[in-house]
Amino acid sequence: MADGISDSWMVSRLPSLNSLTLCIRSLPSYCIILVELRKWNNSLLGHKNRICSISISYFCFSRQHKNQLLVKKKGKNDIYPEHFRELISKYRFLPGFLPDNTSEEIRRLLQENRSIKTYHRGKYLFHEGSVPRGVFYLEEGIVYIQKADEEGNEQVVYFYRQGDLFGYRPILCNEPHPVSAVAMEDSILSFIPRDIFLKALNQSGELARKLLENLSFEYTVWTNNVYLFSRKPVKVRVALALLLLSDLFGIGKRPGIFSEFRISRDLLAAYTGTVKETLVRNLTHFKEKGIIRTSGQKITVLHPEQLLKIVYPEG
């Protein structure tokens, strides 16, 4: 992929999504690509059109040179604060798992043997220690994974969203599930049986290489998570969690509001690795500073740049 593809070139070829185009017009290519993948890669086996193919190739290029992209001057309508994109890239897995050159045979194999399942809020997809029977592809909704400590307390370690594939690591290692997976909201998933997944993997070198790339990148993500959530103060962990959840639920949907989402205090405490009382004190502090608003389970992030200053105090 050549260097000369500009942001305006890619935006001008987006479909008729006026509101989306207005939101991302001033963003660098790295963010445009992520938005396009969320829009177009919303089916396990759906064919990607030309613009999505270009985006995937450019994403690989952009990830290698993301530092140059991240220092690009912000446009006056850019809703993303400085360092936000860099922060998210450290804590989010790569989207998608089917390479663009996956053969029709492999696509048919997966499509003909998958099943679509709906999991309601709070429903377990699998439990820690259970035998993995297949892999899951999240078509719609949000799923979180959690792990229990020796005392039985659950620690939320990651949130999956539309376009994520999960559950394949224990299959590759021939081990039980090391975590439990729970639907945070009503979610639709494609389930691929273990033997079909392994057959596709054995027959497709492209798919094997893609999963190897994903696993390598995920190792870095897990390392970043372990370091920050085990070594940093609670205030920093809560600030980071609010930024990551903003990205998870969607950004810039209403004027003057960076993000707005609903999450129980118990779940948020389990995600930040603290007790509920300590979490509430930190949220109250952020609220008094005007950084966020709260109403029941709803959290509205008003000033993400202030949260970023907490995460990056040296910045």
Task: Show me where the domains of the chain are located.
Answer: 104-203, 232-315
pLDDT for position 100 = 75
Position with higher pLDDT, 85 vs 206: 206
Residue 238 clears pLDDT 80, i.e. is over it: yes
Q: Please, what is the average pLDDT of the chain?
A: 77
Residue 154, CA distances (Å) to 30, 112, 275, 276 in order: 34, 36, 11, 13
What CATH fold (topology level) applies to the domain 232-315?
Arc Repressor Mutant, subunit A (1.10.10)
Greater model confidence, 210 or 265: 265
115/123 Cα distance (integer angstroms): 17
Retrieve residue 274's tokens: 């603290």
**pLDDT-derived band at 74, boundaries 50, 70, 90:** very low
C-alpha gyration radius of the chain = 20
β-bridge mates for residue 187, sequence order: 119
What average pLDDT does this structure show over 289-306? 95
Tell me the pairing of strands 154-161 and 142-148: antiparallel
Q: Which residue has the tokens 């696993």?
A: 215
pTM, rounded to two decimals: 0.73
- Which pLDDT band holds residue 197 (cuts at 50, 70, 90)? very high
User: What's the gap between Cα 216 and its chain centre?
Assistant: 16
Q: Highest mean pLDDT range out of 40-49, 117-126, 256-265?
A: 117-126
pLDDT for 79 equals: 53
User: What's the token pair of residue 221?
Assistant: 């993500």
Superfamily of domain 104-203: Jelly Rolls (2.60.120.10)
Measured at the CA of 82, the angle between CA 77 and CA 86, to 5 degrees, comes to: 120
**Surface-to-core class of residue 163, CB atoms within 10 Å of its CB (0-12 exposed, 13-18 middle, 19+ buried):** buried
Mean pLDDT of all residues in 259-287 = 96
Q: Are 101 and 206 in contact (CB under 8 A)?
A: yes
User: pLDDT over 90 for what percent of the chain?
Assistant: 52
| Residues 75, 272: Cα–Cα separation, whole Å | 33
